[in-house]
Amino acid sequence: KTGFLARKIHADMDGKKTPWGKRGWKTFYAVLKGTVLYLQKDEYKPEKALSEEDLKNAVSVHHALASKATDYEKKPNVLKLKTADWSVLLFQAQSQEEMQTWINKINCV
Ligand code: I3P
């Protein structure tokens, strides 16, 4: 599964609220491959290696839980991802259908 997703980091790996200045939305080209959700700056090109930044932004979805972010009302089509290491990420998909597909795919990993 691939597609554009805007990400907001809500809680860091220890579960603590992400500090001010690091809570903004940022759009990535997301690629779910195995148990890793890669968040790339640019659209995936097979001949191009992942940059250091792409690797830093990658998220393990192993033992993670995705659900609709029902408590977040500022934007539509937002899903919440709780990872095994207690971080909480919000992702805005481009449609309701896309959001549901991402939730299903992530939870099936
Ligand atoms: C954040 C940014 C986010 C906002 C967040 C701010 O500032 O403006 O868009 O979340 O509010 O802290 P910064 O880029 O300086 O981290 P929303 O879009 O959800 O309002 P928050 O701290 O209430 O989450």
Tokens of 40: 């790339």
Distance CA 51, CA 108 (A): 27
Give ipTM to 2 decimals: 0.95
Can you tell me which atom of ligand 1 is nearest the CA of 19? 16
Q: What is the pLDDT of residues 88-100, one digit of tens each?
A: 999 999 999 999 9
- 23 CB under 6 A from ligand 1? yes
Residue 54 phi/psi, 5° resolution? -60, -40
pTM: 0.95
SS3 51: coil
- 22 CB under 6 A from ligand 1? yes
Q: What is the average pLDDT score of the chain?
A: 95
- 19 CB under 6 A from ligand 1? no
Residue of minimum CA distance from atom 5 in ligand 1: 23
What pLDDT, on a 0 to 100 scale, did the predictor assign at position 87?
97
Q: What is the pLDDT of residues 27-70, one digit of tens each?
A: 999 999 999 999 998 776 767 788 899 999 999 999 999 999 99
